[in-house]
Amino acid sequence: MLVSFSNEAAVLRKKDEAMSHYVGEILDAGVNRSPSAYLNNPSAERAKYKYDVDKEMTLLKFVDDQWGPVGSFNWFATHGTSMSRTNELISGDNKGTAARLMEDWFDQKSAGRIVNVNPRRVSNIVQGPQGNHHELLELAASFKSTSGKPVTKYLSIARRVRNSLRSADRPRFVSAFCQSNCGDVSPNTLGAFCTDTGLPCDFNHSTCGGKNELCYGRGPGYPDEFESTRIIGEKQFKKAADLFNTASEKLNGKIDFRHSYLDFTQLEVTLPKQGGGSETVKTCPAAMGFGFAAGTTDGPGAFDFKQGDSTGNPFWKLVRNVLKTPSKEQKDCQQPKPILLDTGEMKQPYDWAASILPVQILKIGQMVILSVPGEFTTMAGRRLRDAVSAVFKEKVHVVIAGLTNTYSQYITTYEEYEMQRYEGASTLYGPHTLSAYIQEFTKLATAIVTGKPVEAGPQPPDLLDKQISLLPGVVVDSTPLGVKFGDVKTDVAKDSTFKKGDTVTVVFWSACPRNDLMTEGTFALVELLQGQDTWVPAFDDDDICLRFKWSRPSRLSAQSHATIEWRIPQSTASGVYRVTHFGASKNLLGSISHFTGSSSAFVVK
């Protein structure tokens, strides 16, 4: 493989593989959602940086000697919260959108079908039936909705768009859009506004008239969250494609790593004192502050919580004490955080918060990747990167891989912690959490430089057999008398013609999607007629333009519907299309049966 990055770069070889890396900026895909906390960092430190969030994307390009480019990883700091909590559909958000665009772009580019960085779908590539509008309408009229029919589970996999395009004679290209120090970075780049007045939210607390529930961030596609998701995803994709195309220098040197488990509830951390000398401080058992319950502008909380609360509220303290009253030592350790949930000391039915965390460092030539089990804020990430960079004798490029190996909420600077906004209130192990990470990652980096091993540390508990689920299993699925699974309930209108930008809606009689999650397949498919009788997959539920919505007519009913909505992209080729649904039903004996059905054909012009 090969990996690439900008400014300076190099490559490393292992057998028939090589890597290079490249770096670039995206200026408009993230804003700081807790600027009042960021401003509490020292002014001299803030003056070193042009922005209050990191704008840099680092891309690794993997190149195989035989196959050429086979993948890329990139790291860029922005939350996957372009979709707010009002969205009830499963979504990969802006990172997933970017990855889909990148993989489509490369597949089509490698097949010689495109030359720019605007990925097109198969409907632009495959030739549909030719003719004028009247002829297309006549052709579409000959294809009525199909009755639901049983199929094997593999049909959905075979009909998936990317599977039908996949080349059998080369490895599949994989592009990962990874997270970095995104703790205080929001993709809702227009800012946070009050839903009742339209005015900006309170700067320090992100409230509207004292209430957090009305303060929401707005993405660039406001008020359409799907459009915001597409825009932020496309920005990341376009920068990644640009870096991918220009990456040429290679990473040289050894591959090395260190990994250790640490008990973060009782780490001793040595800090320098002003005027000389040092002092020893400790981390704390995990706890969540009142500001945590206020949520963020990407997803506000409820009740009377607010960000920046450093005192708490007597009523909620009484509620807290029913669950667990924090000890005096814990309160003192977590200051100035008022404890809402003393999760580190709550053990039933199992630990409410992790105590043993993994820390890991990877060195690939002159590139260093820090695998952190949480969400570092912008300045916290900068401090960690700087501390690790200083350990290495040669010049290295350090990236933070956020939310890796496990999850332990947020990590802020000491100064941001004092402000107790959402991120500070969610920094579990007290005000010295970041200092503990810097100390321990510095040890790992030193071990790589000196070639020494590190202790494995205490193993985290295995809780797999203790997991509790409150979600009942599927009992049975059914349809009305005379109706089959996969039958169309609400079809497109007869002789329908749609324009680009229109939404096509078809409702099918369906079954609970939890019977089969269609992991390698698809629940929804838009097909394009090729020639006179061949249907070619054009869009599936990997595409942001296609939405699959499942519902029951009533809560206790065994009957259910699948509504498939296709918002026709502007890039869609004219032609005859239909909508197809795949699903799986469960009978009273517990057997799973797969089914499919298609709508009547229609014309897109």
pLDDT at 114: 46
**Feature table: binding site:** 79, 375, 410
Provide the annotated binding site for Zn(2+).
79, 375, 410
* Confidence (pLDDT) at 8: 31
SS3 133: helix
- pTM here is 0.92
- Domains observed in the chain: 18-117+169-251 (no CATH), 133-166+473-604 (2.60.40.2300), 255-450 (no CATH)
CB atoms near residue 151 (< 10 Å): 19
Q: For 335, how many CA atoms within 13 A lie in the half-sphere containing its CB?
A: 7
CA gap 523, 546 in Å, rounded: 10
Residue in this structure with the two tokens 């349809």, named with its chain if needed: 479
**Beta carbons of 600 and 500 less than 8 angstroms apart:** no
CB atoms within 10 A of CB 174: 14
Query: Rounded CA gap, 354 and 31, in Å?
Result: 29
Helix (H, G, I), strand (E, B) or coil at 423: helix
Partnered with residue 20 across adjacent β-strands are 61
> Comparing C-alpha atoms, which of 337, 371, 373 is closest to residue 355?
373
> For the chain, which residues score pLDDT lower than 50?
1-16, 114-115
Residue 501's H or E segment, with its range, is: none
**426 classed as catalytic:** no
Report the alpha-carbon distance of residue 267 to residue 438 in Å, rounded: 12
Identity of the amino acid at 500:
K
Alpha helices in 119-194 (DSSP H): 122-125, 133-141, 154-159, 161-165
Nearest-CA neighbor of 105 among 171, 162, 187?
Answer: 162
What is the pLDDT, as a whole number, of residue 598? 98
Do 219 and 190 meet the contact criterion of CB atoms below 8 Å apart?
yes
Q: What are the pLDDT digits (tens) for 379-415?
A: 999 999 999 999 998 999 999 999 999 999 999 999 9
Q: Which residue out of 6, 145, 156, 186 is catalytically annotated?
A: 186
In SS3 terms, 339-364 reads as EEECHHHCCCCCCCCCCEEEEEEEEE
Query: What whole-number distance in Å separates Cα of residue 189 and Cα of residue 53?
Result: 12
